[in-house]
Amino acid sequence: MLLGLLGFLLALGVLLLWVYHGFTPVVHGEYGQGVPPASAFCKGENAFVVADEGDAALGRHLVKVIAGYRVVPCLLIVADTTAPAADPVTAEFPSGHVPTPDEFITNLRDADRVGVSFAGEYDFSAAGEQPIVIRLEDPSGNQSEVTAAARIRATVDRVVLEAGSPIPDVQPFLTDGFHGELLTTVTEEMMVVPGEYALEVKCPDNGRVFPTILEVRDTVAPTGEGQFLILAPGEAAAPAAFLTAADDETTLSYDFALAPDPDSREIQDISVRITDAGGNSADVAAQVLFSSFGELTVEAKKGQLTGADLGRPGAQPEPFTANVPGTYPIRVQVDGGTEIAMVTLVDTTGPMLTLREGPFYTRHDLTPEELVAAEDVTGATLSFVEAPDTDSDQAQTFSVRAVDGAGNETVAAFPLTLAVDTTPPVLYGVVNVGGYVGEPIAYFNEAYAEDDVDGRVEMAVDSQVILSQKGKYTVTYIATDKSGNSASKSCTYTLVEPAVTDEEVHTMAKAVLKDIISDDMVNAEKLKAVFDYVRGRIHYTGASNKTDWRREAVRGNREGRGDCFTVYCLTRALLDELKIPYMSLTRRGGSTRHYWLIVNIGTGWYHFDPLVTRVHKHRCFMWTTKQCLVKPYFWRFYEENYPAIATEPFDYDAVVQMERDGLLP
């Protein structure tokens, strides 16, 4: 049996020698170079290999080799035995940049994927150049190393600054932790001309010179201020002439965005376009006037502007009052046409001062305005340079400074002799009145004092009224003027227990006025409405309770009957609610009493009595005392206790219009 096996193996060996005669049964191929040519398998001519792309992959592959009539299977073993290769790179970057190994090689070559790594540890923060070893390794374990270089700059790539910025020092160009000096001089001109400037920085640590770039940008548009120009007809002006200011850090150019029309004689709005070296632009508004008058300066005055004021007596300006300084466009008829003259009114003349007519009195606080009149087109402010002695009635001198609205000043001295006031004030409305227990007394509701020098003066009262007790009390009014002259007058206050509250009277009055008064009425119309209402409301019976005016007002309005006191009380309540000034009157002498009022809405005092009886038909609505004489003695009163009554008849329609025009105080 052993002999048989040996015989078989021998026969097989002979067969294989015959089959593979002239062939290489096992061929080794390099990965990435494809399937070897047929000559690697067979030395004979006209041989070829039957294989596909997969037969070039790593591993063992059975391929067919055909030579003549013979087809022989061969084993192809593909392996990767070649180490990766690459070209080194000198990588340059600023300090702080953390590079990857790939940045140090280029043109990487290998049939398979390659791992790239640093062969050691490196400090990339130190400026200068250092060798860097890069390890290359493919999946088959083939390795190689490439020695490259790292060049670490102490400078940044570029610094960007706005045009007009200050000249920078070296620090903005250095990376953190480095020191250096600029070898390139940065000039003022560079900082206002946009562009890129190559600079060099020397690092003293190792003496190396590093490049960097200064980039000057202009991103801010220019600014400017326009002005108003007056040009002669036919005159031209460059765009820049219409600007009082133009500001930018770079050079500027000018053009019209809206050009003037030289044929127009109106004031024109134009626009100047300013463009800087960075291409930024801005349009600035301005104005122009083509006029043969040019710029005119005229002294302000009272009255109308004339052609002579403009330097052309034959010209006719439009009507214009020339009393307020300022610059004005004035239309002027001249040479058969119309032009505009820009006229500047100025005030260069100091105020004119004159002493006012007296008399002026001692012991009075006198102001410069009370003593001196100042005349000036722009008004004037007065102050004392030397004030008068107001305690002296001897001849003296005082001086005043006046400054007008334009700053012109006048100082003048005036003689002055102060008069002595010896006349005391006159007290009005101090008459017997009533009040209510427990309620405050309005002492000055109707009473007041006037002085022939001081006008209205304050009054004081000397009163022993006990508000908690009803009865009659004497009250003395005292008035003293600025010169120390005093006058006094007494009356009787009668306090009664209140039967009707003040609030009840107000409620009644409001209800009445709501029906007879509208918001658009002026005081004269309101008075007429009150007069007509009371006159029509109270039916005369000849009887009333004259101890309590509030109770009588409410009762009279509720019941619609009473006498003259009732009419007076209801009228008083309504005028109180309207806050129209009045004073209470009673008849002087006679066998019976009569009550009515005088009122003043800024036209002076007039009699106001809505009473009507079967025999008394007179309409005493805003009458003068003379008109009241139509019924002798009926409206006679103690005139010394009251202010003067108006003497001109009351013109109702005219007063209403004056009130609507705001002409009454």
Element (H, E) at 326: strand 326-334
pTM above 0.75, yes or no: no
Query: 396-407 pLDDT, tens per residue?
Result: 999 999 999 999
User: Do 526 and 616 fall within a single domain?
Assistant: yes
Whole-number Å distance between alpha carbons of 501 and 118: 109
- Asked if pLDDT for residue 511 goes beyond 60, the answer is yes
- Asked if pLDDT for residue 305 goes beyond 90, the answer is yes
User: Do 264 and 277 fall within a single domain?
Assistant: yes
> Helix, strand, or coil here: 103?
helix
User: Do 520 and 622 fall within a single domain?
Assistant: yes
Total of domains in the chain: 8
Q: Going by C-beta distance under 8 Å and a sequence separation of 6 or more, which residues neighbour residue 463?
A: 441, 443, 473, 475, 476, 493
Count of residues for the chain? 665
Distances in whole angstroms, Cα of residue 304 to Cα of each of 212, 299, 402 = 73, 12, 26
Instruction: Take residue 17 and report the two structure tokens written for it.
Output: 């020698």
- Asked if pLDDT for residue 631 goes beyond 70, the answer is yes
623 lies in some domain: yes
* Mean of the per-residue pLDDT values of the chain: 92
Cβ(532)–Cβ(574) below 8 Å? no
User: Do 235 and 340 fall within a single domain?
Assistant: no
Nearest to 446 by CA among 425, 431, 434, 464: 431
The share of the chain scoring above pLDDT 90, in percent, equals 72
Neighbours of 350 (CB within 10 A): 19
Question: Once rounded to an integer, what is the mean pLDDT over residues 526-554?
Answer: 96
- Asked if pLDDT for residue 385 goes beyond 60, the answer is yes
Query: 562-583 pLDDT, tens per residue?
Result: 999 999 999 999 999 999 999 9
Nearest to 350 by CA among 397, 382, 320: 382
Whole-number Å distance between alpha carbons of 635 and 586: 8
Quote the pLDDT of residue 28: 92
The confidence band for 13, taking pLDDT boundaries of 50, 70 and 90, is: low
Domain boundary, last residue among 457, 479, 496: 496
Query: Phi/psi at 62 (nearest 5 deg)?
Result: -90, 120
Query: 426-448 pLDDT, tens per residue?
Result: 999 999 999 999 999 999 999 99
User: Do 59 and 204 fall within a single domain?
Assistant: no
Query: 142-173 pLDDT, tens per residue?
Result: 999 999 898 887 788 899 999 989 999 998 98
Which of 6-10, 207-211, 472-476 is predicted with the least confidence, judged by mean pLDDT?
A: 6-10
User: Do 512 and 640 fall within a single domain?
Assistant: yes
Nearest to 29 by CA among 80, 85, 84, 83: 80
Query: 445-465 pLDDT, tens per residue?
Result: 999 999 999 999 999 999 999
**Residue 346: how many CA atoms within 13 Å on its side-chain side?**
10
Query: Phi/psi at 4 (nearest 5 deg)?
Result: -65, -40
Q: What is the DSSP string of 399-418?
A: EEEEEETTS-EEEEEEEE--
Angle at 289 between CA 288 and CA 294, to 5 degrees: 120
Instruction: Take residue 357 and report the two structure tokens written for it.
Output: 């007519």
User: Do 177 and 304 fall within a single domain?
Assistant: no
User: Do 398 and 484 fall within a single domain?
Assistant: no
6 lies in some domain: no
Quote the pLDDT of residue 342: 92
Is 611 buried (19+), middle (13-18) or exposed (0-12) by CB count in 10 A?
buried
The share of the chain scoring above pLDDT 70, in percent, equals 97
The confidence band for 209, taking pLDDT boundaries of 50, 70 and 90, is: confident
User: Do 254 and 305 fall within a single domain?
Assistant: no
Cβ(233)–Cβ(290) below 8 Å? yes
User: Do 570 and 653 fall within a single domain?
Assistant: yes
- Look up tokens 């209800």; give the residue: 511
Quote the pLDDT of residue 102: 92
Whole-number Å distance between alpha carbons of 542 and 533: 19
Quote the pLDDT of residue 461: 97
Per the structure, the complete domain to which residue 235 belongs is given by 223-290
Which of 85-94, 205-214, 312-321, 638-647 is predicted with the least confidence, judged by mean pLDDT?
A: 205-214
User: Do 640 and 565 fall within a single domain?
Assistant: yes
Neighbours of 616 (CB within 10 A): 13
Is 463 buried (19+), middle (13-18) or exposed (0-12) by CB count in 10 A?
middle
Q: Going by C-beta distance under 8 Å and a sequence separation of 6 or more, which residues neighbour residue 77?
A: 26, 27, 28, 29, 59, 60, 61
15 lies in some domain: no
Which of 33-47, 319-333, 584-598 is predicted with the least confidence, judged by mean pLDDT?
A: 33-47
Beta bridge partners of 136: 116, 144
Query: 232-280 pLDDT, tens per residue?
Result: 998 999 999 999 999 998 899 999 999 999 999 999 999 999 999 989 9
Domain boundary, last residue among 79, 94, 122: 79
Nearest to 596 by CA among 470, 426, 427, 431: 431
Whole-number Å distance between alpha carbons of 574 and 527: 9
> Helix, strand, or coil here: 209?
strand
Whole-number Å distance between alpha carbons of 373 and 362: 20
Nearest to 345 by CA among 309, 308, 298: 298
Whole-number Å distance between alpha carbons of 652 and 658: 10
Whole-number Å distance between alpha carbons of 315 and 90: 88
Angle at 547 between CA 542 and CA 551, to 5 degrees: 85
Is 516 buried (19+), middle (13-18) or exposed (0-12) by CB count in 10 A?
middle
- Look up tokens 């600029």; give the residue: 182
User: Do 524 and 634 fall within a single domain?
Assistant: yes
Question: Once rounded to an integer, what is the mean pLDDT over residues 110-118?
Answer: 90
Whole-number Å distance between alpha carbons of 405 and 2: 147
Domain boundary, last residue among 496, 528, 546: 496
The confidence band for 9, taking pLDDT boundaries of 50, 70 and 90, is: low
Quote the pLDDT of residue 12: 56
Q: Going by C-beta distance under 8 Å and a sequence separation of 6 or more, which residues neighbour residue 632?
A: none
- Look up tokens 């890069």; give the residue: 134
585 lies in some domain: yes
- Provide the CATH number for the domain around residue 374: 2.60.40
11 lies in some domain: no
Distances in whole angstroms, Cα of residue 138 to Cα of each of 58, 337, 375, 510 = 13, 100, 109, 110
The confidence band for 98, taking pLDDT boundaries of 50, 70 and 90, is: confident
421 lies in some domain: no
Question: Residue 550 is which amino acid?
Answer: R
Query: 322-355 pLDDT, tens per residue?
Result: 998 999 999 999 988 899 999 999 999 999 999 9
70 lies in some domain: yes
Cβ(191)–Cβ(216) below 8 Å? yes
Cβ(385)–Cβ(331) below 8 Å? no
CA-based radius of gyration for the chain: 59
Quote the pLDDT of residue 353: 96
130 lies in some domain: yes
